[in-house]
Structure 1
Amino acid sequence: MDKEELKQKIMEVMTKKASGGGKSKIYLKDLQREIPGANPRDIKNAANELVREGKLEYFSTGSTVMYGVPGVGMGLEAGTEKPE
């Protein structure tokens, strides 16, 4: 799987989780579980590139970092819901 296919798969997983009423933020380990055929390091690199492109965002709980779709779920600023 090349990088662009991997990035597309990550976005599919993220939007499916967020739109299904489930989690809006996902741990890297959850992404790795959802894309079993890919190398974990490649998943992390692709997810970080999506953050740089603005398609994903980091969400820190203080002890760990999660990935989320911008504008969905709790925001980074003071843990409040972002307006739609």
Structure 2
Amino acid sequence: MALDLATAKEQIIDFIHSKSSSKSKFYFNDFTKLFPDEKARDVKKVLTALVNDGVMIFWSSGSTTMYGLAGEGKQTAGEGEG
């Protein structure tokens, strides 16, 4: 993996916090734009590590999968996360 895992995790979390006033869930492509010189697979590995660490969660509408910070967002209480 060309990305430094710790640095990439920090960049993703900072990005989410910078957008937290307007949205709580993000598409995969939102994160690939943060790392334009990296392969999508490497970005996916960073996101998966954040999910495995419990920092982020998957959210699915049934047709679309999005990512969000664990415990944040409008649906948190309804999903038993908060």
Shorter-normalised TM range: 0.7 to 0.9
The CA deviation at 1:2 is: 1.1
Alignment TM-score, normalising by the size of structure 1: 0.79
Aligned twin of 1:35? 35
Find the aligned partners of 1:9 and 1:36 in 2 and give their Cα distance: 13
| Aligned alpha-carbon RMSD (Å) | 2.2
Deviation track 1:24-75 (CA, whole Å, cap 9, x = no partner) reads: 0000001111332332211111001100100001110110110001121133
CA contact (8 A) 1:59 1:76 kept: no
Structure 2 alignment gaps of length 5 or more: none
Aligned length: 80
The CA deviation at 1:77 is: 6.9
Aligned twin of 1:44? 44
Aligned twin of 2:15? 13
> What one-letter code is carried by the residue in structure 2 that aligns with 1:6?
A
Structure 1 alignment gaps of length 5 or more: none
Alignment TM-score, normalising by the size of structure 2: 0.80
Aligned twin of 1:24? 24
> What one-letter code is carried by the residue in structure 2 that aligns with 1:17?
K
Alignment partner of 1:34: what SS?
Answer: coil
| Identical counterparts, % of pairs | 31
